[in-house]
Amino acid sequence: MKVFKFGGASVSSADAVRNSVNILKMYPANKVLVISAMGKTTNALEIVARKYFSQDPEVWNIFQEVKNYHDGIITELWGKPTELPEVEKLFQQISSRFKNEPSMNFDYEYDQIVAFGELISTRIISLYFNEIGLKNHWVDVRNCLKTDDQYRESNINWELSLRLAKRLFTFESEDLYITQGFIGGTLTNQTTTLGREGSDYTAAILANLLDAEEVSIWKNVPGILNADPDFFPNTQKLDELSYKEAIELSYSGAKVIHPKTIKPLQNKNIPLFVRSFLEPEKAGTIIHAIEHTLELIPVIIVKKNMALITLTPNDYSFISINSVSDVFSLCAKYRLKVALLQQSALDLSLAFDEPEQGIEPLISQLQQKFEVKYNIGLELLTIRYYTPETVNQITAGRTVYVEQKSRRTARMLLK
Ligand code: ASP
Ligand code: MG
pLDDT digits (tens, 9 = 90+) for 140-156: 999 999 999 999 999 99
Report the run of H or E that residue 70 belongs to, with start and end.
Answer: helix 59-78
What residue type is 135 in one-letter code?
A: K
- pTM score, whole prediction: 0.90
Looking at residues 300-308, what average pLDDT do you find? 94
Measure 259 CA to ligand 1 centroid, in angstroms: 13
Instruction: Say how many C-beta atoms besides its own lie within 10 A of residue 387's C-beta.
Output: 12
Measure 396 CA to ligand 1 centroid, in angstroms: 35
Residues having CB within 6 Å of any atom of ligand 1: 7-8, 36-37, 42, 117, 181-182, 196-199
Q: What is the pLDDT, as a whole number, of residue 232?
A: 84
CA 59 to mean position of chain CA atoms: 25
Share of the chain above pLDDT 90, in %: 82
Closest approach atom of ligand 1 to CA 7: 7
Measure 395 CA to ligand 2 centroid, in angstroms: 31
* pLDDT, tens only, 354-396: 988 889 999 999 999 999 999 999 999 999 999 999 999 889 9
Measure 415 CA to ligand 1 centroid, in angstroms: 28
d(CA 62, CA 54): 14
Measure 164 CA to ligand 2 centroid, in angstroms: 25
Q: What is the pLDDT, as a whole number, of residue 251?
A: 80
If phi > 0 it is left, if psi is from -120 to 50 it is alpha, else beta; for residue 281 that is: alpha
Asked whether the beta carbons of 264 and 338 are under 8 A apart, the reply is no
- Residue 231 pLDDT greater than 90, yes or no: no
Closest approach atom of ligand 1 to CA 43: 4
* pLDDT, tens only, 119-135: 999 999 999 999 999 99
Q: What is the pLDDT, as a whole number, of residue 292?
A: 76
Looking at residues 18-29, what average pLDDT do you find? 94
Q: What is the pLDDT, as a whole number, of residue 105?
A: 97
d(CA 284, CA 22): 17
Measure 136 CA to ligand 2 centroid, in angstroms: 22
Looking at residues 312-324, what average pLDDT do you find? 86
pLDDT band, very low/low/confident/very high, at 315 (cuts 50, 70, 90) = confident
- More confident: 396 or 292: 396
Those residues whose beta carbon sits under 5 angstroms from the ion ligand 2 are 8, 36
Residue among 34, 43, 199 to mutate when testing ligand 1 (max atoms within 8 A of CB) = 199
d(CA 160, CA 142): 12
Asked whether the beta carbons of 207 and 264 are under 8 A apart, the reply is yes
Residue among 4, 36, 46, 205 to mutate when testing ligand 1 (max atoms within 8 A of CB) = 36
Give the DSSP letter of residue 260.
G
The bound ligand whose nearest atom lies closest to the alpha carbon of 202 is: 1
* Residue nearest (by alpha carbon) to ligand 1 atom 8: 197
- More confident: 295 or 380: 380
* pLDDT, tens only, 259-286: 899 999 999 999 999 999 999 999 999 9
Instruction: Say how many C-beta atoms besides its own lie within 10 A of residue 209's C-beta.
Output: 21
CATH superfamily to which 2-288 belongs: Acetylglutamate kinase-like (3.40.1160.10)
* Residue nearest (by alpha carbon) to ligand 1 atom 5: 197
Where in the chain do CATH 3.40.1160.10 domains reside?
A: 2-288
Measure 39 CA to ligand 2 centroid, in angstroms: 7
* 362-to-109, 281, 318, 328, 372 alpha-carbon distances in Å: 24, 49, 21, 12, 10
Residue among 5, 182, 257, 261 to mutate when testing ligand 1 (max atoms within 8 A of CB) = 182
Residue among 43, 196, 200 to mutate when testing ligand 1 (max atoms within 8 A of CB) = 196
Measure 50 CA to ligand 2 centroid, in angstroms: 18
The bound ligand whose nearest atom lies closest to the alpha carbon of 258 is: 1
Count of residues in the chain: 415
Q: Average model confidence (pLDDT) for the chain?
A: 94
* Residue nearest (by alpha carbon) to ligand 1 atom 6: 197
Where in the chain do CATH 3.30.2130.10 domains reside?
A: 299-414
Q: What is the pLDDT, as a whole number, of residue 144?
A: 97
Query: Right CATH number for 299-414 from 3.40.50.620, 3.40.50.1820, 3.30.2130.10, 3.40.50.720?
Result: 3.30.2130.10
Measure 407 CA to ligand 2 centroid, in angstroms: 35
